[in-house]
Amino acid sequence: MLLLSTFVVVLAGLSGAKPLASKRWNNVAVKHRWVEIPRGWEYHSTPPGDHLLDMRIGLKQDKLDELISSLYEVSDPAHERYGQHLSKEEVDALVAPHPDTVEAVESWLLHHGINPVDAQFRSASGEWITIRVTVAQAERMLDTKYGVYYHPASGSSVVRTMEYSLPAELHSHVQMISPTTYFGTMRSMRSTSFIQPQTTALVEDADSFAAEISPLAVPASCGTTVTPACLRAMYNTTAYVPKATATNKLGVAGYLQEFANDADLQVTFFKSFRTDAVGSTFTHVQVNGGLNTQSDPGVEANLDIQYTEGISFPTPNIYYSTGGSPPFLKDDSTPSNTNEPYLDWLNFILNQTTIPQTFTTSYGDDEQTVPQDYAISVCNLFAQLGARGSSIMFSSGDNGVGSGDCLTNDGTNREIFQPAFPASCPFVTAVGGTTRVNPEVAVSFSGGGFSRYFAQPSYQTASVTPFLTALGTKFAGLYNATGRAYPDVSAAANGFQVVIGGRTSSVGGTSASSPTVAGVVALLNDFRISEGKAPLGFLNPLIYSTAKSGFNDIVSGSNPGCGQAGFTATTGWDPVTGLGTPDFLRLQALVA
């Protein structure tokens, strides 16, 4: 890292260098551009020039290839480094920017009158810098014009731009800058859960529904009215008692400023559905202004924590409520937070010395609405988590192969299947949905398909190729056959009994599937840790190889969308249910 104070003094003394500096930064080229306003948004007005933004600059990591290589080695059960996860310091060293990158970015900032020493935030590795600038400054730095854009469906207003540019020299040093062209916010992004009023919920004042269900005789009712007892029986966790609770932890990442309600979990849910857990609780962590008022709890938050706890108890759970500043108001002098959810949470988590061994997240966007440089940056942050030994589950989405007209946003208006992000990131485990029991079948809304941003990783080629071969030319041109395929696995997604404000409702969505799988994975991590072994970490190289037989293959159902029939679940991997649903006892034997 440069000695900044010395650098500033030297630069200040070289007044004759200013013309050269100007020439150095005047040759600009577009970094990212939209050809049309992202769907669902509309231009509203011009923001005041003195409106403040917290600008994040993501610097290119010098040894990213080494990080990815290490991630695969420590995650591959056939490799001699399997389970030898990296420390925070080792990851930081690999993702630190090259000194030339630091010099170039800091020189550019100084050229615009910004002293890097005054940055609002700087990651330990130096790959992220956050500076506070006015809209007018940002427009000069990025050769662009910002606007206020409105999202009628969510009522959100954000300050964004349709394109931004950087000096040509910086393109090889800067991965991305925000807020710029990513229009997603915590309010416009989708939570992958929904209330199911058509499904009758178990009444709140009924006797306890926590009685154990035999894995050998799971009742048909578990296919439409799901409780922790149903899931524990379906996925064979009923008999397992966690032992490594002093070390093993499960983290739930929540957005939309949602929080989970203690009383709903402790007083009502546990009393009805997991009586041995009555009186236990979980840890609340607020990130960037996240909420925990315990009033008006979120459906998503309560669903997540009630089912991670319902399966993994007594494993300690942590709920992370990620917040943000209010949306843009013309007369508001408060800096406009980027409201870009994954960066806030990921930078917070990666800055911690110790982190949970298992995570679940139930949110996502259409991949095409996320600028590719932004998606790559976020995906690489998930790789850092995996390298440190964490397993990361993401719901695959609730729109099958895509919702609405599925038209491209590149100006050509072609109809294509719409993959979801971050489920399409190759460094997370995407979880699709099923319904019914004896046997389970794919639920019609289960998100799945093939990324257009990320290539198909080698760990899944042997499993995906048979599906593509059998598919032949069906849907040709609608999906990217060489892209990262998802989901990886699946779990029940229909009729989850969730307590919200003291009352029980039926909730569906792959938001239910992801915490379910996370609960099972947390128990597998508990088993390994209690046996003196490392946690599983990044799961995909394992589950696509030696642990493949630990899943129940789902062979019927489909995921329609985009006006098409969608893909069909079949023998082996498919883009509706992945490898299938977990069987804890089989997996326990395979990861022993």
| Average of per-residue pLDDT across 323-342 | 55
277: Cβ contacts below 8 Å, ≥ 6 apart: 270, 309, 310, 313, 314
Instruction: Assign 326 a pLDDT band (cuts: 50, 70, 90).
Output: very low
Active site residue 62: no
Backbone phi, then psi, for 77, in 5-degree steps? -65, -15
Q: How many Å apart are CA 527 and CA 529, to the nearest integer?
A: 6
Residue range 473-487: mean pLDDT, rounded: 98
Q: Tell me, what's the pLDDT at 362?
A: 87
Which of the two residues, 1 and 248, has the higher pLDDT score?
248
Average pLDDT, integer, range 266-270: 93
Indicate the pLDDT class of residue 525, thresholds 50, 70 and 90. very high
Neighbouring CB atoms inside 10 A of 352's CB total 11
Long-range Cβ contacts of 464-470 (<8 Å, 24+ apart): 464/573, 466/572, 466/573, 467/570, 467/572, 467/573, 467/574, 467/575, 470/570
What is the per-residue pLDDT for 181? 95
Which of 178, 396, 444, 511 is catalytic? The answer is: 511
Structure confidence at residue 324 (pLDDT):
55
339 confidence band (pLDDT: 50, 70, 90) = low
Sign of CA dihedral 353, 357, 362, 363: positive
When pLDDT is cut at 50, 70 and 90, the band that residue 214 belongs to is: confident
Q: Which of 62, 76, 304, 367 is catalytic?
A: 304
pLDDT given at position 151: 86
Q: Given a cut of 70, is residue 190 above it in pLDDT? A: no
**Lowest-confidence segment of 152-161, 351-360, 494-503 by average pLDDT:** 152-161
Per the CB < 8 A criterion, the answer to whether 320 and 285 are in contact is yes
Better-scored residue on pLDDT, 144 or 410: 144
Average pLDDT score over residue span 424-440: 98
Position 336 scores a pLDDT of 53
What band does 405 get if pLDDT is binned at 50, 70 and 90?
Answer: confident
pLDDT at 215: 87
The 3-class SS string of 537-580 reads CCCHHHHCCCCHHHEECCCCCECCECCECCCECCCCCECCCECC
Q: Work out the pLDDT band at 99, boundaries 50, 70, 90.
A: very high
Q: What is the CA radius of gyration of the chain?
A: 24
What is the reported pLDDT for 158? 87
Q: How many beta carbons lie within 10 A of that of residue 246, not counting itself?
A: 8
Whether pLDDT at 174 is above 60: yes
What's the mean pLDDT in 40-60? 93
Annotated binding residue at 366? no
DSSP for residue 170: G
CATH number for the domain whose boundaries are 191-323+357-591: 3.40.50.200
pLDDT value at residue 113: 96
**What is the residue type of 33?**
R
Residue 11 has pLDDT above 70, yes or no: no
Query: What pLDDT shows up at residue 577?
Result: 98
User: What pTM was estimated for this model as a whole?
Assistant: 0.92
Q: With 60 as the cut, is the pLDDT of residue 128 above it?
A: yes
251 labelled binding-site residue: no
Looking at residue 330, its pLDDT comes to 54
Six token digits for residue 282: 């979980």
Report the DSSP pairing between strands 28-33 and 503-508. Answer: unpaired
**pLDDT at position 197 over 80:** no
Of 10, 4, 3, which is closest to residue 109 (Cα–Cα)?
A: 4
For residue 417, give Cα distances in angstroms to 207, 369, 430, 448, 563.
46, 13, 17, 10, 10
Contact 231, 240 (CB under 8 A): no
> How many angstroms separate the CA atoms of 127 and 120, rounded?
14
- Is 304 annotated in the active site? yes
Q: Does 554 show up as a binding residue in the annotation? A: yes
pLDDT of 4 reads 39
- Predicted local distance difference test score (pLDDT) of residue 343: 82
Q: Write out the two tokens for 61.
A: 């990591």
The mean per-residue pLDDT over the stretch 222-250 comes to: 97
pLDDT in tens, 527-548: 999 999 999 999 999 999 999 9
In eight-state DSSP terms, residue 369 is: G
Rounded Cα distance, 164 and 152, in Å: 25
Annotated active-site residue 36? The verdict is no
- Lowest mean pLDDT segment, chosen from 90-104, 236-250, 290-304: 290-304
Grade residue 340 by pLDDT with cuts at 50, 70 and 90. low
Report the pLDDT averaged over residues 276-298: 81
**Among the ranges given (398-407, 420-429, 465-474), the one the predictor scored with the smallest mean pLDDT:** 398-407
| Mean pLDDT for the chain overall | 90
Coil, helix or strand for 62?
A: coil
Helix (H, G, I), strand (E, B) or coil at 63: coil
What is 441-478 written as a DSSP string? EE-TT---EEEEEEEPPHHHHHHHHHHHHHHTTTTTTT
187 has a pLDDT exceeding 90: no
DSSP helix/strand/coil, 221 = helix
Query: Which residues, in sequence order, are CB contacts of 150 under 8 Å at separation 6+?
Result: 41, 42, 43, 44, 156, 157
572 is annotated as contributing to ligand binding: yes
End-to-end CA, the chain: 43
Secondary structure class of 149 (helix, strand, coil): strand
The whole-angstrom separation of Cα 577 and Cα 579 is 6
Rounded CA separation 526/535 (Å): 8
Instruction: Locate 364 and state its tokens.
Output: 């996502």
> What is the structure's pLDDT at 10?
38
- Residue of higher predicted confidence among 121 and 201: 121
Helix, coil or strand: residue 346: helix
From the list 53, 96, 390, 445, the residue with the least C-alpha distance to 251 is 390
Instruction: Please report, rounded to a whole number, the percentage of residues in the chain having pLDDT higher than 70.
Output: 88
Give the pLDDT confidence score for residue 185 in this predicted structure. 60
Condensed to tens digits (0 to 9), the pLDDT of residues 552-576 reads: 999 999 999 999 999 999 999 999 9
Domain ranges, ordered by start, for the chain: 4-187, 191-323+357-591
Catalytic residue among 62, 258, 300, 344: 300
How large is the average pLDDT for residues 247-252?
A: 98
250-254 and 358-361: which strand pairing? parallel
